[in-house]
């Protein structure tokens, strides 16, 4: 039982370590050399599939009647969109900036939607499930519009005009983020028994997230190993992802305090769908830029692991609090 509890407490950290170890094991086993290309192709399909499944499961677990926007949703959507657009405008104005890769990484960290497993973590911490799920839906809608509008101007493709690029991005992002919601509504209406089976496994999205996190970290390590970008740029991505993580959790909690929803708002703003962030960076920016999503996943999962452990072990929290007296 202690082993099982340990695995539950440290699931996200274990997933990160598994992703790092998995890459080095895979590339250093000679008889697997012939599978490298196939594995890369498989991951490119598997990542968006997992994002889709996690969103679908999350949406199946919420009653549509509970989806009600609240005041902090509007402020947070505005803030998250503004951060993304402002950095994008800076890059458009200074296309040859030496900080280009770092600023693109910041863009990904800010526009990335709330993690599909955020509702699970929020529930573990005693937050408001319906509020965070509502925000997850709203930010997915906003991201599916803003990303196709901004990315072609920030990171233009010389072989494709802006309109075509926007349509291509919209064609990949919009279905990935919104079709799970539509499908979940249809399943709830037409296949209630199947929907009941999904809701009977409340932690399924969390463990799918852990699996997808391990794969995403593997891709991040691969990008780092094969990157020809200067170490200073990689260090910049480490720092900007850390600062973005701290800033978003802090802003979310501060905004949540004003509306008596600190835990939920903090998780909604700070806990990101980093699998999507890595996929977004790799697909529409560059493999190097995608590292920002990988680093962010490390920071927010370390913080979430600490939060969950502290919440589920109140005796440790009391001892820590007493030590401050």
Comparing CA positions, the residue from 107, 5, 4, 57 lying closest to residue 212 is 57
pLDDT value at 320 more than 70 = no
Specify the pTM.
0.78
Those residues with Cβ within 8 angstroms of residue 279's Cβ, 6 or more apart along the chain or in another chain: 47, 48, 51, 290, 293
pLDDT of residue 269: 93
Estimate the crossing angle of helix 118-125 against helix 204-226, to 10 degrees. 120
Tokens representing 252? 């979310």
More confidently predicted of 195 and 170: 195
Res. 128 pLDDT band, cuts 50 70 90: confident
Report how far residue 8's alpha carbon sits from residue 304's, in angstroms, rounded to the nearest whole number.
12
Tokens at residue 21, please? Answer: 């170890």
Farthest CA pair distance, the chain: 64
At residue 325 the predicted structure's pLDDT band, cuts being 50, 70 and 90, is: very low
pLDDT tens digit string along 261-270?
999 999 999 9
């Amino acid at each position: 039982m202690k082993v099982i509890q340990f695995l539950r407490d440290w699931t996200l950290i274990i997933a990160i370590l598994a992703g790092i170890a998995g890459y080095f094991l895979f590339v250093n086993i000679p008889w697997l050399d012939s599978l490298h290309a196939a594995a890369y192709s498989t991951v490119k399909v598997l990542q968006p599939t997992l994002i889709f499944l996690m969103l679908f499961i999350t949406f199946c677990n919420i009653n549509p009647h509970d989806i009600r926007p609240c005041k902090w949703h509007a402020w947070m959507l505005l803030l998250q969109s503004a951060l993304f657009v402002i950095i994008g405008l800076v890059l458009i104005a200074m296309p040859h900036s030496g900080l280009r890769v770092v600023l693109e990484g910041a863009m990904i960290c800010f526009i990335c939607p709330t993690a599909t497993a955020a509702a699970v973590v929020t529930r573990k911490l005693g937050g408001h499930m319906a509020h965070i799920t509502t925000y997850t839906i709203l930010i997915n809608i906003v991201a599916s519009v803003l990303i196709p509008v901004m990315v072609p101007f920030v990171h233009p493709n010389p072989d494709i005009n802006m309109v075509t690029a926007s349509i291509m991005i919209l064609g990949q992002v919009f279905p990935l983020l919104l079709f799970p919601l539509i499908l979940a509504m249809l399943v709830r209406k037409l296949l209630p028994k199947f929907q009941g089976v999904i809701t009977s496994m409340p932690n399924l999205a969390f463990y799918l997230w852990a699996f997808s996190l391990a794969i995403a970290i593997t891709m991040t390590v691969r990008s780092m190993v094969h990157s020809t970008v200067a170490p200073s740029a990689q260090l910049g991505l480490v720092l900007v992802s850390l600062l973005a993580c701290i800033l978003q959790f802090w802003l979310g909690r501060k905004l949540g305090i004003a509306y008596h929803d600190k835990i939920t708002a903090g998780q909604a703003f700070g806990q990101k769908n980093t699998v999507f962030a890595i996929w977004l960076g790799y697909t529409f920016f560059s493999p190097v830029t995608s590292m920002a999503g990988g680093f962010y996943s490390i920071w927010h999962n370390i913080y979430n692991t600490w939060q969950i452990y502290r919440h589920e072990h109140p005796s440790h929290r009391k001892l820590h609090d007493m030590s401050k007296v």
